[in-house]
Amino acid sequence: MISGGGTGGHIYPAIAIANAWKEKYPDTDFLFVGAEGKMEMQKVPEAGYKIEGLKVAGLQRSLTLANLSFPFKLLRSLQKAKELVKNFKPDAVVGVGGYASGPLLYAAQNQGIPTLLQEQNSYAGLTNKLLSKRAKRICVAYPNMGKFFPADRLIYTGNPVRKDIMELAGKKETAMEHFGLESGKKTLLVLGGSLGARTINQAMLADMKALEEGGYQVLWQCGRFYFSEMETQVKSAELKHIHVLEFIREMDLAYAAADVVVSRAGALSVSELSLVGKPVVFIPSPNVAEDHQTKNAMAYVSQDAAILLKDSQAIGKLKLTVDSIMKDENKAEHLASNIKKLAKPNAANEIIEALEQIIV
């Protein structure tokens, strides 16, 4: 059983782990457990796996009516998780973070099922810290995570990513054609995550005309919440080289097309970008627990492997920051080389080995 979700940063590593295990043990039965109404309920079946949903939600930081229902949802989720584990009888349970992983792993640990945690971020969440006390293995994406977890069960694997992202060679021409891009023009890829990022979108609106006039073409994933508004703005500005998309499914082609990438610093994005080996500008979201995106980004910036542009400074400074890389070939090559050194391409297989160790 594999549990977790809420964002692509939790879902895609979970699917990557399942795919790697399935490749080695094709007769395995899988059951994913997610949170009802969250994107895993769509993305996991699309990847070919069965999923059950729990009526679980997060506790809001401010005093809201939603918090009054939290204990009842949690109790119902714990009861359903207990039944799912009892009926499915898994050999092991993997938790990747997100609302559903807490109840499921708690239920599995109470029934004596071995559990493995996969922590994507450089700053561990509260749920994983609590679950780690009884987890058999904790696979992490960053070094020096012993401050959060028991060191004797810690394995530094990196984050598992989709296989196609590791195979970009020879895809650039196909990518340019797929997205309707011009060969010979410098390409900027702008990513705000699957749901979109308001600041990044506002920064693009402020600088999109200057980017086009500067000779760049932009592949811009703005997210479903913002797509209609952003598409209208681009059309009204009559910009031919700003390609705005709600969501990019073919991420391998998007990465293959890019000369420079602007991105949030979610754990999965950071891991993917290190494997891609392109110059990156990170604009971390300030609206996440413990400011963990800034911590993720700084792990790379401190190694001279990426540029940091603060969310509060992004609007009005996007083009200047992109120019500083696009117009300096040595800097671009230096950043690309350094980020590639931090890649962990065998993460999924190392997690599979850890799982094999805990299954009796």
CATH of domain 164-341: 3.40.50.2000
248 annotated ligand-binding residue: yes
- Lowest pLDDT segment from 2-16, 95-109, 301-315: 2-16
Dihedral (CA of 157, 158, 164, 168) sign: negative
Query: Are 45 and 13 a contacting pair, CB within 8 Å?
Result: no
pLDDT score of 60 more than 50:
no
270 annotated ligand-binding residue: yes
Place of tokens 């092991």: 92
Which pair of structure tokens corresponds to residue 305? 């492997």
9 annotated ligand-binding residue: yes
Question: What's the pLDDT band for 15 if we cut at 50, 70, 90?
Answer: very high
Q: What is the pLDDT of residue 58?
A: 56
- Give me the DSSP letters along 85-112: HHHH--S-EEE-SSTTHHHHHHHHHHTT
Dihedral (CA of 227, 229, 232, 234) sign: negative
pLDDT score of 97 more than 90:
no
Which pair of structure tokens corresponds to residue 125? 């969440």
User: What is the chain's alpha carbon radius of gyration, rounded to the nearest angstrom?
Assistant: 21
Give the pLDDT confidence of 156-165 residue by residue, as tens digits. Answer: 999 999 888 9
268 annotated ligand-binding residue: yes
Give the pLDDT confidence of 303-355 residue by residue, as tens digits. Answer: 999 999 999 999 999 999 999 999 999 999 999 999 999 999 999 999 999 99
The residues spanned by each domain of the chain are 2-159+345-358, 164-341
Work out whether strand 2-3 and strand 115-119 pair parallel, antiparallel, or are unpaired: unpaired
Average pLDDT along the chain: 93
168 annotated ligand-binding residue: no
Question: What's the pLDDT band for 24 if we cut at 50, 70, 90?
Answer: very high
312 annotated ligand-binding residue: no
Q: Nearest CA to 159 among 316, 283, 318, 10?
A: 10
Which pair of structure tokens corresponds to residue 237? 């500005």
pLDDT score of 68 more than 90:
no
pLDDT score of 16 more than 90:
yes
* Whole-structure pTM value: 0.85
Q: Nearest CA to 54 among 88, 75, 80?
A: 80
Q: Percentage of the chain surpassing pLDDT 90?
A: 80
288 annotated ligand-binding residue: no
User: Nearest 10 degrees: CA dihedral of 253, 259, 265, 269?
Assistant: 20
Report the CATH fold assignment for 2-159+345-358. Answer: Rossmann fold (3.40.50)
- Lowest pLDDT segment from 57-66, 91-100, 203-212: 57-66
Max avg pLDDT among 154-168, 169-183, 287-301: 169-183
267 annotated ligand-binding residue: yes
Same fold, 2-159+345-358 and 164-341: yes
Q: What is the mean pLDDT of the segment spanning 209-233?
A: 96
* Residue 256 DSSP class: H
272 annotated ligand-binding residue: yes
